[in-house]
């Protein structure tokens, strides 16, 4: 869906620094647009005396000069002519040394010669508008750049390859064929040959519904690998939650104190467990208190517990089992609770520990199964490796297993559009079964097609496009 402003802006040549801020061995200034070659030739002086023009897709060595002809940096330059380029336009890259000062000076020189500074995601937006990428692939570019771990990168790469777009276009094409057959059935009701039998219509709709449900299941199953699983550390005050958090992080981050109630709100940190991003949340301790601030912390802790993928219930292994903590464990259930008995270096011994009610009759199995119990010492590090291994396994099992190679998992926006399409198709199936006249069914079918079209950008309002590309960094 092209707008006049988009077409007008695409007459500009845009420029931006394409590498992250900071120092590095190499930094890249990227240009795209009709004047990319001209600006490149004005700035670049090749080392080879035989150089007359850029050879497409070949790196040329030389110097970059400012508009007064003074050298800025030694560099490599490469021109990728449109339409066989990332944006579909002439794209020029200047590979300089990674000094932020040098890159800014090179960028300023391109702007002086007629380029304008690119907006967020404008290079990829041009690729979309020029038909080099569909919208699902454009989103995958940003998601691949921001991928927290390799599993998320693999999921983004499958979408970047266009596999999700192909699947969605195929589903939409099947619905469009049903729309065409429906129109014939409505326009020629007296035809002796029924153009679209209700059974055929219903089975076609149900087949598309099944595939959409499969994609939505994949979205839910891979959420933890895309966005990170949430693990909440809960338990009585001074059970060692903050010390355990520090042990898992490998550095001191949480405040550790002997004073009960030190953690009044929550502290969140991120770790990677063999490719699975995890958000560890250290919450306020569970205890009776009259302190208004601490009460608020406990209330928020309860909210976090409801949203957690897994709750690590941390208990002091040298103390009797806390009744409130045990009640919480049974409330959340064995499927989302991992019992972690801390301070085992201070416990009198495993046999004495068993008598304190964690594995005996004071802590019976819940209705949903038996609670898994691990013994650790945050102070000495004992049991921490086994804890991280168990965490990784439990979280992957809760997510339904590891993402498969090439698995198609829609992102949040795409899944929302699929749910809206599925809602229309489910209502349409009920209408077909209820023998609603065909001329009243076309709107639902058309709406479902539109929702699927929003995923690839074939039918996408401008505000949808803006929302997608505003998430990009400048230079991509």
262 is in an annotated binding site: yes
Distance, in Å, from the CA atom of 473 to the CA atom of 343, rounded to the nearest integer, reads 45
Residue with tokens 């042990």: 247
261 is in an annotated binding site: yes
242 is in an annotated binding site: yes
30 is in an annotated binding site: yes
12 is in an annotated binding site: no
297 is in an annotated binding site: no
93 is in an annotated binding site: yes
389 is in an annotated binding site: no
125 is in an annotated binding site: no
381 is in an annotated binding site: no
Phi/psi for 223 (5° steps) reads -55, -45
Residue with tokens 């304008």: 116
263 is in an annotated binding site: yes
User: Cβ neighbours of residue 75 under 8 Å, at least 6 residues apart?
Assistant: 44, 61, 62, 63, 64, 94, 95, 96, 97, 106
Phi/psi for 384 (5° steps) reads -70, -40
Distance, in Å, from the CA atom of 124 to the CA atom of 9, rounded to the nearest integer, reads 14
Give me the count of residues in the chain: 476
243 is in an annotated binding site: yes
115 is in an annotated binding site: no
240 is in an annotated binding site: yes
Closest CA to 90 of 56, 46, 133: 56
239 is in an annotated binding site: yes
> Across the strands, what pairs with 156?
none
Distance, in Å, from the CA atom of 120 to the CA atom of 473, rounded to the nearest integer, reads 5
Long-range contacts of 122-125 (CB under 8 A, 24+ apart): 122/14, 122/16, 122/469, 123/14, 123/16, 123/30, 123/32, 123/86, 123/87, 123/475, 123/476, 124/87, 124/469, 124/472, 124/476, 125/465, 125/469
Sign, Cα dihedral of 139, 144, 147, 150: positive
Structure token pair of residue 407: 């698995």
411 is in an annotated binding site: no
241 is in an annotated binding site: yes
Distance, in Å, from the CA atom of 29 to the CA atom of 156, rounded to the nearest integer, reads 25
343 is in an annotated binding site: no
Please answer whether residues 287 and 301 qualify as being in contact, where contact means their C-beta atoms are separated by less than 8 angstroms. no
Q: Where are the beta strands (DSSP E) in 207-273?
A: 229-234, 267-273
282 is in an annotated binding site: yes
388 is in an annotated binding site: no
238 is in an annotated binding site: yes
User: CA–CA distance from 323 to each of 248, 298, 359, 447 (Å)?
Assistant: 26, 16, 14, 54
Binding-site sequence positions for GTP = 238-243, 257-263, 282-285, 377-379
Binding-site sequence positions for (6S)-5-formyl-5,6,7,8-tetrahydrofolate = 30, 93, 132, 476
Binding-site sequence positions for Mg(2+) = 242, 263
Binding-site sequence positions = 30, 93, 132, 238-243, 257-263, 282-285, 377-379, 476
């Amino acid at each position: 869906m092209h707008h006049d402003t988009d077409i007008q802006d695409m007459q500009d040549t845009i420029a931006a620094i394409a590498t992250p801020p900071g120092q590095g061995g190499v930094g890249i200034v990227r240009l795209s647009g009709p004047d990319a070659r001209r600006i490149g030739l004005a700035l670049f002086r090749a080392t080879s005396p035989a150089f007359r023009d850029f050879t497409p897709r070949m790196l040329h060595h030389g110097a970059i000069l400012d508009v007064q002809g003074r050298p800025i940096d030694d560099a490599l330059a490469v021109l990728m002519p449109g339409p066989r380029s990332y944006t579909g336009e002439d794209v020029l890259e200047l590979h300089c040394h990674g000094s932020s000062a040098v890159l800014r000076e090179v960028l300023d020189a391109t702007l002086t010669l007629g380029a304008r500074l690119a907006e967020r995601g404008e290079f990829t937006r041009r690729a979309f508008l020029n038909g080099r990428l569909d919208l699902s692939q454009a989103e995958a570019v940003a998601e691949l750049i921001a991928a927290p771990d390799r599993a998320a990168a693999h999921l983004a790469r499958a979408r970047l390859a266009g596999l999700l777009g192909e699947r969605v276009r195929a589903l939409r094409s099947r619905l469009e064929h049903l729309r065409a057959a429906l129109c014939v059935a409505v326009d020629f009701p007296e035809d002796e040959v029924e153009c679209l039998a209700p059974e055929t219509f219903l089975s076609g709709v149900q087949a598309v519904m099944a595939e959409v449900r499969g994609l939505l299941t994949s979205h839910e199953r891979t959420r933890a690998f895309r966005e990170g699983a949430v693990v909440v550390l809960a338990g009585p005050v001074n059970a060692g939650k903050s010390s355990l958090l520090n042990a898992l992080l490998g550095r001191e981050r949480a405040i550790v104190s002997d004073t009960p109630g030190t953690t009044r709100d929550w502290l969140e940190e991120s770790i990677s467990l063999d490719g699975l991003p995890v958000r560890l949340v250290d919450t306020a301790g569970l205890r009776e208190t009259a302190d208004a601030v601490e009460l608020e912390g406990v209330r928020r802790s309860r909210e976090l517990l409801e949203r957690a993928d897994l709750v690590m219930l941390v208990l002091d292994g040298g103390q009797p089992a806390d009744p409130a903590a045990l009640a919480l464990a049974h409330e959340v259930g064995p499927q989302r609770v991992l019992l972690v008995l801390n301070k085992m270096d201070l416990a009198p011994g495993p046999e004495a520990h068993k008598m304190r009610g964690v594995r005996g009759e004071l802590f019976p199995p819940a209705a949903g199964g038996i609670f898994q119990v691990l013994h650790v010492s945050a102070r000495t590090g004992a049991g921490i490796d086994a804890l991280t291994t168990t965490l990784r396994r439990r979280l992957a099992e809760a997510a339904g297993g590891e993402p498969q190679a090439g698995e198609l998992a829609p992102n949040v926006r795409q899944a929302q559009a699929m749910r809206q399409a599925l809602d229309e198709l489910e209502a349409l199936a009920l209408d077909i079964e209820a023998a609603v006249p065909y001329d009243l069914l076309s709107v639902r079918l058309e709406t479902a097609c539109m929702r699927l079209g929003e995923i690839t950008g074939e039918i996408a309002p401008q505000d949808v496009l803006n929302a997608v590309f505003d998430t990009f960094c400048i230079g991509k």
